[in-house]
Structure 1
Amino acid sequence: MRSKTPVTTENIRRMPKVLLHDHLDGGLRPGTVIELADAIGYKALPSGDSAALRRWFTDAADAGSLVSYLETFAHTCGVLQSEDALVRVAAEAVEDLAEDGIVHAEVRYAPELFREGGLSLEGVIEAVSAGFADGERRAARQGRRIRVRSVLCAMRQHESAREIAALVVRYRDAGVAGFDIAGPEAGYPPSRFLESFQFLGANNAHFTIHAGEAAGVDSIAEAIHVCGAKRIGHGVRLADDIAVTGDRVHLGRLAEHVRAAGIPLELCPSSNVQTGAAPSIAAHPFGLLAREGFRVTVNTDNRLMSGCTLTSEFAALSEAFGYTLDDLRRFTLNAAESAFLDPDERRELLGLLSE
C-alpha cells in the first residue's frame, strides 16, 4: 500500500536520506566564506554581505556551461587554505547535512586544491576527516545521527591522479571511502587516468567517475567499459542513448547495459540545469531514467552554488514528476545500496532507513 503521507518540504526533511555526490568546496555557508576571507585578508569576494554573496554564487553558477560554473570555486577554494579553515568547513557541512535529515553522506573534495598555505596532501585529508568527526559529534549532541565519509578527487586537468589514488588506499580505514576525477570533463577523458583506476581496482578500492555531464555518451561508456566504474557521477547524458517515440522507449546498447548492470547514476538535478546538461527540472532526464528502471540517486552536487539541499532537490523532483514519499524512499534505498560501504555498514544503514 502506497503511503498517503503528503509530500511536503517538512516531511521530506524529516525522512532519513542518503547523499552520494556533494562537494565540500561547493557547500560552504556564505557567512563562513566571509569570515574566513576577513581572517586571511582575501579581498576578491564579490560581496561582504551574506545574503548578497549567496545570491551571487547561485547567479554566477547559473551560467549554462560546466566551465563557467566551475569558475565560482575560486572564492571557496581561496579561503580554504589552512587546517583550521578545512576543519571548520567540514564540521559545518556535517551539521548542515544532518539538519537536512541526511544519515549517510559521501562528501568529495580535491586535496590538491587546498595546498597554497603549505599543507601537504596528507594534512588536507587529516584536517577534513577531523572536521567530519567533529561535525558528527556536534550532530549527535543535537540528537541527529549521521555518518560522513570522504571521496578524494583528482583534478582532470592536472597530473596528480596516481598520487591521490594511493592516498585513497592509505586512508580508506580512516574515513576515506573512495576516489573520483573532477573538473572540466570535455577534453579530459576517463581513460587518461586508466593507470589510477587499475591501481584502485587491484587494491579493492572504490571509485566513481564524473561522466556524462559536460561530455556525452562516449564519456560514460569509457568510464564503465575502459576504466571499470561501478558508479557514475551525474550520467545525465545517458539519455542521449534513449529514444522516445510517443509511448515507445528504445534503449541503446550502453543504456541497456547500464540498466541491466544496475550501475548507479549520481544525478544532480539543479546543478545539471545550471551547467546546461538539462533544460529544466521538469525536462530533466531523471523522470525518464527513473520510469525505465535505472538505478537513479538524488544528489546536491554543490549546495552553495545551486542554492539547494537534498530536501529541496527531492521536493523539486516531486513537483515535476508527481513522486510520492514512497518514490523518494525508493531513490534513497538506491543510494544506500550504492554507497561505498562494507556489508555490515550497509546493513546498518538499511536498517536505519527502515525504522
Structure 2
Amino acid sequence: MHLSDNPATPAAATVSEWIRRAPKAVLHDHLDGGLRPATIVELAREHGYTALPTEDPAELAVWFRDAADSGSLERYLETFAHTCAVMQTREALTRIAAECAEDLAADGVVYAEIRYAPEQHLEGGLTLDEVVEAVNDGFREGERRTGGRITVRTLLTGMRHTDRSLEIARLTVAHRENGVAGFDIAGGEIGNPPARHLPAFQHLKRENCHFTIHAGEAVGAESIHEAVQVCGTERIGHGVRITDDIAEDGTLGTLAAYVRDNRIALEVCPTSNLQTGAAKDYASHPIDELRRLGFRITLNTDNRLVSGTTMSEEFQHMVDAFGYGPEVFEEFTVAALDAAFLPLPERQRLIDEVVRPGYAAL
C-alpha cells in the first residue's frame, strides 16, 4: 500500500506560523529515525553502502514514509536497517547528532531527549563507550551551532530482543555526567515483555538512574502494567493502549487510575501511532480523551524521518483534529519538562525563562 491509497494515512501538515514559533520539548525521538535524507545518501556513498532503495534524497524521504505506512510495528522497525548502516563511525555519529540538534532547534524545540541503541553502532569497530562519546560530542556541537537555543540529553536504549540490556544500563550510569539522562527499552513488543530485562531496571534503581519503557503500543494494557508495577518505570513510551483499561463512559480501571494519579507521563507520538496501527486517524486518536481524563500527556515525534514529521507538524495535526490552541501546547510542553530526566533547577529554568515567556509572546 502507498500513502496515497489510504485515506487514514498521515499527511504532512501545513503549519501555522505561531506553531513554528512556539517553544517545544520532545522526550521521545529516536536518533536513527531522524536523519536527513541527504546525509544518509552522502554517508552511504562514503562507506560503500549500496542497499539504499534510491540515492535521490527527496525520493528517499518518500520511501521511508511509504515503508512505514504498513500498520505494523515490526514492518515499521525494518526501515532502520538503512539508517543504522550509515551510523557506524565516530564521524558519522557526531555529524548526525549535531544535525539532529540543529533541525530540532530550527523547529522551535528548546529541550530534547534523543534515544538510540549503542549496540546497533558497533559494526565499524567502535566500542560502546566510543559510540556514546561520539553522539554526546555531536549534540554539544549542535548546541553550540544553535547558540544555545536547545538543550539536548540522550537516553541509551537496550533492545528487547537482545541480551545486552544490563550492559547498556551500566553504560548509562557510567555516562550520566556526560549528557546521558537515562535508559530506555525499545524494539518489537510482541514476545519481548519488559520484565525480561528486569536486572537492568533493578541496576538503574540501585544507582538512582532514570528510565522509561516502550509499552502500550503494539501490546495492550498488560504491557503497561508490567512496565509500571514490575519494572517501576517513570514514564511510558507511547502508552496509548492504556485506553484498554478505560470504559466507554470514561471510568478508569485500577491500572489507568494508578498511571494517572501517580503522574506517570505518557510519551504520545500520534503520527507514529497511525503508521503502526495503534490508532486509526488523528481525529480518533486517544490523546484527546486521555488529556481530558487528566493523564500527564507529552507530545512527541518518535521518528522524524520515518514518520515524515516534525514537532510543529504534530502540533498542527492536533489543532486540525481537536482545535487545540496555544494554551494546550503550553500544557504539553510544561508536562514534558516536568517529566524530563533533567535536574529540577534546569527544568524550572526552562519553564520559567523560556517556555512561559515564549507562549505569552504568541
Give the TM-score of the pair, scaled to structure 2: 0.94
Match of 1:3 in 2: none
2:340 is the alignment partner of 1:333: no
Structure 2 partner of 1:4: none
Give the aligned partner of residue 46 of structure 1: 53
Pairwise CA RMSD: 1.0
Aligned pair count? 343
Counterpart CA distance in 2 for 1:99 and 1:316 is 19
Q: How far is the alpha carbon of 1:282 from its aligned partner?
A: 1.0
Give the SS at the match of 1:208: strand
Residue in 2 that maps onto 1:229: 233
- The residue aligned with 1:209 is 213
Alignment partner of 1:228: what SS? Answer: coil
1:164 maps to 2:165: no
Q: Which amino acid in structure 2 is aligned with residue 130 of structure 1?
A: D
Q: 2:90 matched to which residue of 1?
A: 83
- Mapped to 1, the partners of 2:270 and 2:295 lie a distance apart of 16
Counterpart of 2:211 in 1: which secondary structure? coil
Q: Is the 8 A contact 2:33 2:305 kept in 1?
A: yes
Q: Which amino acid aligns with 2:333?
A: T
Q: Gaps (5+ residues) in structure 1?
A: 1-6
2:137 counterpart residue number: 130
> Which residue is 2:203 aligned to?
199
Pick one of 57, 61, 66 that aligns with 1:59: 66
Q: Could you list the per-position Cα deviations for residues 212-266 of structure 1 after superposition, in whole angstroms to 9, with x for gaps in the alignment?
A: 011110000000000001100000111111112xxx3111111111111111000
Please give the alpha-carbon distance, in whole angstroms, between the structure 2 residues aligned to 1:169 and 1:336.
Answer: 21
Task: State the one-letter code of the partner of 1:88.
Answer: R
Q: Where in structure 2 are the equivalents of 1:17-166 lying within 5 Å?
A: 17-140=24-147, 145-166=149-170
C-alpha displacement at 1:9, in angstroms?
Answer: 2.1
Structure-1 residue corresponding to 2:5: none
Counterpart contact for 2:296–2:335, Cα < 8 Å: yes
Partner Cα distance (2:200, 2:228) in 1: 14
Q: What secondary structure sits across from 1:220 in the alignment?
A: helix
Give runs of aligned pairs for residues 196-345 of structure 1, distance below 5 A.
Answer: 196-244=200-248, 248-345=249-346
Query: How far is the alpha carbon of 1:311 from its aligned partner?
Result: 0.6
| Corresponding residue SS for 1:174 | coil
**In structure 2, which of residues 330, 351, 356 is the aligned counterpart of residue 354 of structure 1?**
356
Report the Cα distance in structure 2 between the residues aligned to 1:165 and 1:102, rounded to whole angstroms: 27
Q: Secondary structure at the match of 2:295?
A: coil
Question: Aligned equivalents of 2:206 and 2:130: distance in 1?
Answer: 26
Normalised by the length of structure 1, the TM-score is: 0.95
Question: Which deviations, in whole Å up to 9, do the C-alpha atoms of 1:247-305 show, x marking residues without a partner?
Answer: x3111111111111111000000001000011111111101101111001000000001
**Per-residue CA shift, 1:172-222, capped at 9, x if unaligned?**
010000000011111111110111101101110000000001111000000
Matched with 2:16 is 9
After superposition, give the CA deviation of every residue in 1:11-64 in whole Å (9 maximum; x if it has no partner): 111111110000000000000000000101110000111110000000001111
Work out the CA distance in 2 between the residues paired with 1:8 and 1:95.
19
After the TM superposition, list the runs of 4 or more consecutive aligned residues in structure 1 that deviate by more than 6 angstroms: none
Unpaired runs of 5+ in structure 2?
1-13, 358-362
The answer to whether the 8 A contact 1:64-1:273 is kept is yes
Residue identity opposite 1:134 in structure 2? E
